[in-house]
Amino acid sequence: MTEKAERKPAKLPFPRLRREPAEMTPEEEEAARQKRLDKIHRKMKHKSGKKKLNRSTAGNAVLFILMGICGVFMVLPLVMIANNALKPLDEIYQFPPRIFVRNPTLTNFSDLFVLMNESWVPFTRYILNTLIITLGGMIGHVVIASMAAYPLAKHKFPGKALLFSMVVLSLMFSWTVTQIPQYLIISWLGINNTYGALVLPAWSFGMGLYLMKQFMEQLPDSLMESARLQGANEWQIFWKIIMPNVKPAWLTLAIFQFQQMWGNTGGMFLRNEELKPLQYALQQITSGGVSRAGAGAAVTFIIAAIPIIFFLVCQSSIMETMTTSGMKD
Name the architecture of domain 107-324: Orthogonal Bundle (1.10)
**pLDDT of 231:** 83
Residues 31-64 as b/e (b if ≥16 CB within 10 A, e otherwise) read eeeeeeeeeeeeeeeeeeeeeeeeeeeeeeeeee
Residue 96 preceded by cis peptide, ω within 30: yes
Which pLDDT score, from 0 to 100, does residue 20 have? 47
Per-residue model confidence (pLDDT) at position 163: 85
* Cβ(265)–Cβ(273) below 8 Å: no
Q: What is the average per-residue pLDDT within 271-295?
A: 76
pLDDT, tens digit, for every residue of 57-80?
Answer: 777 888 888 988 888 888 888 888
CB 218, CB 94: distance < 8 Å: no
Residue 164: count other Cβ atoms within 10 Å of its Cβ. 16
Boundaries of CATH 1.10.3720.10 in the chain?
A: 107-324
Average pLDDT of the residues of the chain: 77
Give dist(CA 160, CA 151) in Å, integer. Answer: 9
In this model, does residue 241 exceed pLDDT 60?
Answer: yes
Predicted pLDDT of residue 84: 84
What is the pTM for the complete model shown?
A: 0.68
Q: Among 193, 82, 226, 203, which Cα is nearest to 144's?
A: 203
pLDDT at 320: 53
| Rounded-to-integer distance, Cα 155 and Cα 158, Å | 10
Task: Give me the pLDDT at residue 45, please.
Answer: 59
Nearest to 141 by CA among 65, 205, 85: 205
**Positive or negative: CA dihedral 169, 173, 178, 182:** positive
Do 150 and 238 contact (CB within 8 A), yes or no? yes
**Counting beta carbons within 10 angstroms of the beta carbon of residue 249, is it exposed (0 to 12), middle (13 to 18) or buried (19 or more)?**
buried
For the ranges 8-12, 21-25, 32-36, 204-208, the lowest mean pLDDT is seen at 8-12
How much is the average pLDDT of 109-116? Answer: 79
